[in-house]
Structures are given as structure tokens and as C-alpha cells.
Chains A and B, each alone.
Chain A
């Protein structure tokens, strides 16, 4: 007998007036899995997640989260989930420690407050009032508040948007640590590398539909996000190479050119823009959908 999935979504639909934000989404998230909804802004990711979190009512379809229908916001479900919203404030006149301790008291099986402060790296700011936190520290507090109830399932809505590279790495390792603890994680992102780095499986969302679901490598997230190096040789011919490791390829190219004493004209290193990648990833899926 296989374990029921942590999240089950079938033909999920949501309209705001005449606007269809979500138009029939299906996916499952297994227990202990890190699942990513990847897509451009306005694709319907946040609407989908907020329906699963119980913030919005769906227009149609079936949704089950840890065996509950989130639409009724059952307390038993809220006790087992942690939510990091895309943006949400916190009581400004509390200290970090007071805020986390208060949240801990709201859950039946909470984690140790000091331990959570350490997990998110706010040891040095535990006595600081929320209103004095920097943007990055506030985001870490968001994570701490979502984790302190020791949830089985964690929702992360664009957890690293606006982070600098170092903060992103730190956030990624926290997410990985959560996954190692066996937590189920549903995250949304519009960063390909984030989906690739964190997710066991990814669903690509565009215009309120899922175009492809699978491991990042299966559905081409990694291939589509390769670096593209282009140059013209001494004869004026244009060359283009794709690589995951631009450093090595550049070294090879430039040292070769130097050794032979020839120029590399118009040398450029580019990554396909997000739009290009979605186009590439989704063109095939849309073609298939069109054929049916």
C-alpha cells in the first residue's frame, strides 16, 4: 500500500471575475518531497499556493493537503503546516525572540525557540525589535516563524526573491536541511537555478496551467539554463557553444586563441533570459497540448 501524497491537486481552477488565474492544474507532492512550482510572474503560482494554504477558495477542482481540504482552514491542518508568504509583516514592537516564542506557543508540538533562532541564523539579532531588522533578517524571521511549530509541510512562496547571492545560498542550505529532516516542501520560484538546486520535482506553470511536471533534469530545466558562449574566429565565422561550466570553456578558448596568436572577436557569455527558457521549455509542451 503506497502512502497517500502530502498534497494532491486535481483540475484546480480559480477565477477572479472574468479572469481565469488558474485553469485546471494537476499535481501531487509526495511526503518528504521538495516540489517546486516554476513559472514567470503572473503564471498562477501564488494563487495555487494560497489555495493550498487556505487563504483563497477555489472555483473548481479537488485539493487535499495532508488529508484535509484546506478551504475550511481546519485547525488540525494549520498545526501541521508552516507558511512563508511572499511578503508579510510582523509585530514591529516585539523582539525576534519574543516573536518566535509567541508563535511557538500557538502550536501543539513546537521546536525549541533558541534552536530555531540558530537554524535561521538570527542569534545576533535575537534581542532586536522587528522594526529594526534589515530586509534579509526579516525574511529569516519569516522562516523561523514558519518552522517553530515543527510543521510536516512547509510552503515557501518565492523564498529568495530579492536576496543577494550569499543570502540565497544560506536560504538554500536551510531548505535542504529541512528536506533532510523529512519535511515536505512546496516552493514557488521564478529562478531556474533555484528549482534545479532544491527541487526533487518541478511543475512548470504558465498562464494558469501546468505545462510539464518532472525532475528538473527530465524536463530540461538544466539544459535550458545553460550558458551560451559565442565568438567570431579569425575568418569571421560565428561559433556558439553551450555549457554548464563557462569558466572551463572560456579558459580553453582564450588560452587556445592566445597560443595561436589569433583574436576571439565579439566574445560573449550569455544565459538565456527567463522568457527564452520558458519559451523553449513550454513550446514543446504546448505543441503537444495542441495536438490532443
Chain B
């Protein structure tokens, strides 16, 4: 079987297994939509706030479908010995990783689309002003947060610890980075932390693409910060990668 065919087969397998695992499907799809519905209800009638929450939730969705999902899954596959078993088969590592990446990207695209449509229908945020810019920021966000998720997996010692480690990063990250409010209006010390983090810049970029229509050329600084984190994530993800459970 050609490498492309193997990627496709593995991708289809990942999709099938994803839908059979209720908690994965919940955290990927339902949780961001629940947040969107709740905050949308809280802010209803205030278009400025709704214009903050919709791109914010879109950014959060990218983090949960890549960073959270890959950190949790990588640890589970490693600790259960599935990665080790796969490594003994002829499946090329590149084909496997491509399939896993395609799976995460599919979830991201579905989720960002859902958030956009819900925002349009229920919260009056309108269709994205600049679709190419949206694509650029979603793509940058996926690369950045997918690699950071795999990198985080290396730090997580075992399966039981995976939710704690992941949420210890994810929850403060989404609050600090202005998923639920305009990060620019936060107290200075929180704002200083937020501007160092990639999600703040991703949300600013998404906000431009989805709401304000500010062109990509004005957002290159945001893109640059995401790129720096992406490079860091890729280096850490590749360097520390382990196919095997750690032995104590």
C-alpha cells in the first residue's frame, strides 16, 4: 500500500475511534459550544462583548482540538503501549503522524466553522470579514498548539496525571488570553503575561479576520509571536518524543 493510502487509512481509523470515545468528542466539540452559549447569553444585547467572545471561543476551540487533544492522546497511546506496538509494524512514522495531524486539523476546521455559524446565527457577529486571513491564523494556531500539545505530553509522567497537567495549562491560558473578555482591558500585570502567550495573539488575529476586517498586513506581529511559539513547540515535540511508557 502506498504511503498516501496508509495515511488515509490511519486517518479514517482515527476519525472512527474519535467518535466512539464520548469524552473526547465532548471536550473537543461540546465544551467550547457550551461556553459560547453561556457567555453569549450573559453578553446578549451587547454587540461589543459578543464580538469579543466569538473569536475568543474560536481560539479556545483551536487550543482544545489540538493542544488538549494531542497532549491527552499522546500520553494515553504512549502509556497503553499502543505507540510501541505501532512502531513494530511497517507503518512509517511520517504516515502515522500525518494521519494524526489531519485528524486534529479536521476537528479544528469543523469546530471553527461551528463557532462561526453559531456566532452568525445567534449572536449577530456576521460572516468572517477576511477569509484568507482566517485561514492563515487557524493554520498558524494549529501548528503552534498541536506541537505544544505533543511537547507537553513528554512532561506528563503517566495517564492519571494527564488531565491535571493539561488543564493546569489550558484553564489559566484561556482565562489570561482573553477568551472571555478583551485582554486589552485586563490589569497591567495580567496583560503583560497575556501578550507573551500565543493564544492572545491568535485571538487578536481571529478577531481581525472574523469581526473587524483589519488586514493581515497589520497583524504580522501577532503572527510572528505565534510562529516563535510554534518553532519552540516543534523543537520540543520532536526532541523529547518517546514511543514508550517510561519505566520507573
* B partners with A: yes
- Using CB atoms and an 8 Å cutoff, list the residues of chain A in contact with chain B: 53-55, 73, 75, 78-79, 81, 83, 85, 87-94, 98, 102-103, 105-108, 129, 145, 149
Interface presence of B120 (CB below 8 A): no
Complex contact A89–B90 (CB within 8 A)? no
Residues A91 and B84 in contact, CB atoms below 8 Å apart: no
In the complex, chain A residues whose CB is within 8 Å of the CB of B244: 55
- State the majority secondary structure of interface residues on A: loop
Chain A residue nearest to B21 (CB atoms) is A93
- B residues 68-86 in Cβ contact with A at 8 Å: 80-82, 84-85
* Cβ of A14 to closest chain B Cβ, rounded Å: 14
A102 touches B9 (CB 8 A): yes
The minimal Cβ–Cβ distance linking A57 to chain B, given in whole angstroms, is: 13
Residues in A with CB closer than 8 Å to B84 are 55, 85, 88
Task: Let me know if A88 and B89 touch, CB within 8 A.
Answer: no
| Contact between chains at A106 and B91 (CB < 8 Å) | yes
- List, in ascending order, chain B residues with CB within 8 A of A106's CB: 1, 6, 89-91
Q: Are A78 and B81 in contact (CB under 8 A)?
A: no
Complex A-B: 26 CB contacts under 8 Å: A55-B244, A78-B89, A78-B90, A79-B90, A83-B85, A83-B88, A85-B88, A87-B81, A88-B82, A88-B85, A89-B80, A89-B81, A89-B82, A90-B85, A91-B13, A92-B80, A93-B17, A93-B21, A105-B6, A105-B9, A106-B6, A106-B91, A107-B89, A107-B90, A145-B85, A149-B90
Q: How far is the CA of A83 from the CA of B81 in the complex (A)?
A: 13
The 8 closest A-B pairs by CB, nearest first: A89-B80, A88-B81, A93-B20, A83-B88, A88-B85, A78-B90, A79-B90, A89-B81
Cβ of B132 under 8 Å from chain A? no
Q: Which of B1-60 contact A (CB under 8 A)?
A: 1, 6, 9, 13, 16-17, 20-21
- List residues of chain B with CB within 8 A of the CB of A78: 88-90
Is B215 among interface residues, defined by CB-CB distance under 8 A?
no
In the assembled complex, B92 has its CB within 8 A of some CB on chain A? yes
Contact between A53 and B89, CB atoms less than 8 A apart: no
Residues of B within 8 A of A83 (CB): 85, 88
Asked if B89 and A94 sit within 8 Å, CB to CB, the answer is no
Among B20, B87, B89, B92, the residue within 8 A (CB) of A103 is B89
Contact status B1-A90, CB under 8 Å: no
Tell me which residues across on chain A come within 8 A of B21, comparing CB atoms.
93
Distance A18 CA – B1 CA, assembled complex (angstroms):
44
What are the residues of chain A within 8 A of B87 when measuring CB–CB? 55, 73
Q: How many angstroms between the C-alpha atoms of A276 and B29 in the bound complex?
A: 60
Shortest C-beta distance, B12 to chain A (Å), equals 9
Give CA–CA (A157, B148) in the complex, Å.
35
Contacts of B81 in A (CB 8 A): 85, 87-89
Contact B17 A105 (CB under 8 A): no
Known contacts A85-B88, A149-B90, A102 near B82 by CB under 8 Å? no
Residues from chain B with Cβ under 8 Å of A89 in the complex: 80-82, 85
Contact assessment for B82 and A90 in the assembled complex, using a CB-CB cutoff below 8 Å: yes
Q: Tell whether, in the assembled complex, residue B89 and residue A91 are in contact, meaning their CB atoms are under 8 Å apart.
A: no
**In the assembled complex, which residues on chain B have CB atoms less than 8 Å from the CB atom of A105?**
1, 6, 9
